[in-house]
Amino acid sequence: MANIQIFIQLHTIAQMKTSKGVENKINLEISAGTSAIDIINQLNLELGWDDLLVIINQKIISPSYILQDGDILQIIPAISGG
């Protein structure tokens, strides 16, 4: 299966702490046929799908959405108050 390139933007507390510092933008090469939920799981965020707003190319998508070459995936934590 061929690989595709996607671009991930992590917002607020979803940003990843790495040895290079805090990362909020990631270019990722993935296998064709990879779903949005696969990427959420792969990133090992401390938030699950129900805690996130996941947007592809400015549209809210379902977990089963199959990513396409060049997709821009935005991961935004849901905010709740008390």
pLDDT digits (tens, 9 = 90+) for 34-76: 999 999 998 888 788 888 999 999 999 999 999 999 999 999 9
Range of the domain at 68: 3-77
- CB contact set of 39 (below 8 Å; sequence gap of 6+): 6, 8, 28, 30, 67, 73
Q: Does residue 48 sit within a domain? A: yes
Give the chain's domain count. 1
Q: Read out DSSP for 41-66?
A: HHTT-SS-GGGEEEEETTEE--TTPB
Query: What band does 19 get if pLDDT is binned at 50, 70 and 90?
Result: low
Q: Does residue 82 sit within a domain? A: no
CATH number of residue 53's parent domain: 3.10.20.30
pTM of the shown model: 0.84
pLDDT digits (tens, 9 = 90+) for 5-18: 999 999 887 787 66
